[in-house]
């Protein structure tokens, strides 16, 4: 036991000492910015050639502020929305003012729930026209039932499509990693599907009220991908969208202490190396993906006291406990979405038996040796 404890302490000290603050202009961050500039300057929206595309860097590049010895970034994620499109929760009044990046003519789509929590349709509800005199928008209600297709914008450099993302590599003057460009429709209002998230009881004070206000103030996005069970359906496969909380996740993960980001990095690397996670949108066998690991971390940060990351910190022990929690979720076939309370991220079709057994067998001694052999 003494030897095991020593190895755990070595692994913990190694990660705490080597996971430094990421430089502001890391190559992936530069690549994300260049991709955003390229989107804004060369690609136009479907409906209006004068429309602008506004880009947002998401994923690991935006979420992590640590720089471990092994890379965090395997691809660059960029979301972009069109300045002529906007989404609003169902029943929400038409906006009278919009941020400056929006066009003077905007189509406003109402978010309509589907029978799968987190998946929605976008029905055209208003046509907005900006008044030159006062900058306010006048709304004309659209009475015909017209839904927005979930098609992708066209890219001349597209190599592959995974879910809502176009995977590409471009002629940029920096070392390249794959770029995931995801079209979205911007929603400036916090969605009704996650209405209870801002006010639910939090016993340990995370996230704090200022962070919650920041998250809610950023609203959400809607990305063009149908639920797995609907993709072959002639209509739903073409018109179903998914709510995206990438903006919220960036704010929350950036509010973590370094130890929390380190544990998140360790879990992701372990799951990827042990082939426990795949791209859920491209893999034929439905299994875990990085979003399950992210959800696990978000719930742990909210439901556990700060002592798990401050008192006699042992990152190996924390990882083992979280992997066992994930195993419990698989046993119960229930992984609650962090923002949408009635959304289960574990489908009935998941092949989880072997993964669950594997996770529950992990202990501190084995995982310490794993990190020594595979990382240190």
Domain segments of the chain as ranges? 2-374
Ramachandran category for residue 126: left, alpha or beta (phi over 0 → left; psi -120 to 50 → alpha) = beta
Q: At what angle do helices 258-273 and 290-303 cross, to 10 degrees?
A: 150
Q: Which two tokens stand for residue 345?
A: 């991220």
Rounded distance between C-alpha atoms, residue 309 and residue 299, angstroms: 14
Count the neighbouring beta carbons within 10 Å of the beta carbon of residue 13: 11
Rounded distance between C-alpha atoms, residue 225 and residue 241, angstroms: 5
Residue 172, pLDDT score? 46
Residue 154, pLDDT score? 46
Contact 104, 129 (CB under 8 A): yes
Q: Is 186 helix (H, G, I), strand (E, B) or coil?
A: strand
Residue 368, pLDDT score? 97
- Biggest alpha carbon–alpha carbon distance for the chain: 76
Each residue's pLDDT expressed in tens, for the chain with a length of 376 residues: 568 789 999 999 999 999 988 766 566 666 656 656 565 555 554 556 678 889 899 998 899 999 999 877 777 888 999 999 999 999 999 999 999 999 999 999 999 999 999 999 999 999 999 998 898 999 999 988 899 999 865 444 445 555 555 555 544 444 566 778 899 999 999 999 999 999 999 999 999 999 999 999 999 999 999 999 999 999 999 999 999 999 999 999 999 999 999 999 999 999 999 988 754 444 444 578 899 999 999 999 999 887 766 667 899 999 999 999 999 999 999 999 999 999 999 877 567 778 899 999 999 999 999 999 999 9
Q: At what angle do helices 364-374 and 2-18 cross, to 10 degrees?
A: 50
Of 307, 300, 321, 309, nearest to 364 by C-alpha is 321
Q: Is 341 helix (H, G, I), strand (E, B) or coil?
A: coil
pTM, entire model = 0.88
Rounded distance between C-alpha atoms, residue 129 and residue 18, angstroms: 53
DSSP letters spanning 222-264:
EES---GGGTTSTTHHHH-EEEE-HHHHHHHHHTS-HHHHHHH
Q: Which two tokens stand for residue 327?
A: 């195993």
Where does the chain have alpha helices with state H?
Answer: 2-18, 27-42, 59-63, 209-217, 236-239, 246-254, 258-273, 290-303, 315-332, 353-361, 364-374
Residue located via tokens 């994923």: 59
Residue 354, pLDDT score? 84
């Amino acid at each position: 036991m003494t030897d095991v404890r020593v190895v755990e302490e070595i692994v913990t000290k190694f990660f705490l000492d080597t996971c430094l603050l990421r430089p502001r202009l890391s190559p992936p961050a530069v690549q994300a910015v260049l991709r955003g500039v390229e989107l804004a300057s060369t690609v136009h929206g479907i409906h209006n050639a004068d429309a602008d595309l506004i880009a947002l860097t998401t994923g690991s590049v935006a979420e992590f502020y640590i720089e471990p010895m092994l890379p965090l970034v395997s691809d660059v994620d960029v979301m972009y929305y069109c300045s002529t499109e906007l989404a609003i929760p169902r029943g929400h009044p038409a906006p009278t003012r919009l941020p400056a990046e929006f066009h003077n003519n905007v189509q406003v789509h109402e978010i309509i729930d589907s029978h799968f929590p987190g998946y929605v349709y976008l029905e055209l509800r208003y046509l907005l026209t900006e008044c030159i005199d006062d900058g306010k928008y006048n709304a004309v209600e659209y009475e015909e039932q017209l839904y927005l297709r979930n098609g992708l914008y066209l890219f001349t450099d597209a190599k592959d499509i995974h879910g809502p993302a176009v995977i590409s590599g471009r002629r940029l003057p920096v070392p390249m990693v794959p770029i995931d460009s995801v079209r979205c429709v911007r929603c400036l209002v916090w969605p009704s599907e996650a209405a209870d998230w801002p006010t639910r009881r939090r016993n340990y004070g995370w996230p704090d009220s200022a962070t919650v206000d920041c998250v809610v103030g950023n609203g959400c996005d809607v990305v063009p991908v149908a639920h797995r069970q609907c993709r072959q359906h002639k209509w739903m496969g073409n018109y179903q969208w998914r709510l995206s909380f990438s903006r919220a996740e960036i704010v929350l993960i950036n509010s973590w202490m370094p130890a929390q980001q380190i544990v998140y990095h360790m879990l992701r690397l372990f799951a990827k190396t042990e082939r426990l996670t795949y791209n859920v949108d491209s893999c034929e066998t439905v299994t875990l993906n990085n979003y399950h690991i992210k959800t696990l971390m978000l719930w742990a940060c909210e439901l556990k006291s700060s002592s798990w990351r401050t008192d006699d910190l042992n990152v190996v022990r924390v990882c083992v406990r979280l992997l066992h929690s994930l195993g419990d979720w698989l046993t119960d076939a229930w992984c609650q979405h962090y923002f949408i309370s009635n959304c289960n991220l574990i489908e009935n079709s998941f092949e989880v038996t072997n993964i669950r057994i594997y996770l529950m067998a992990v202990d501190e001694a084995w995982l310490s040796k794993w990190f020594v052999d595979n990382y240190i």
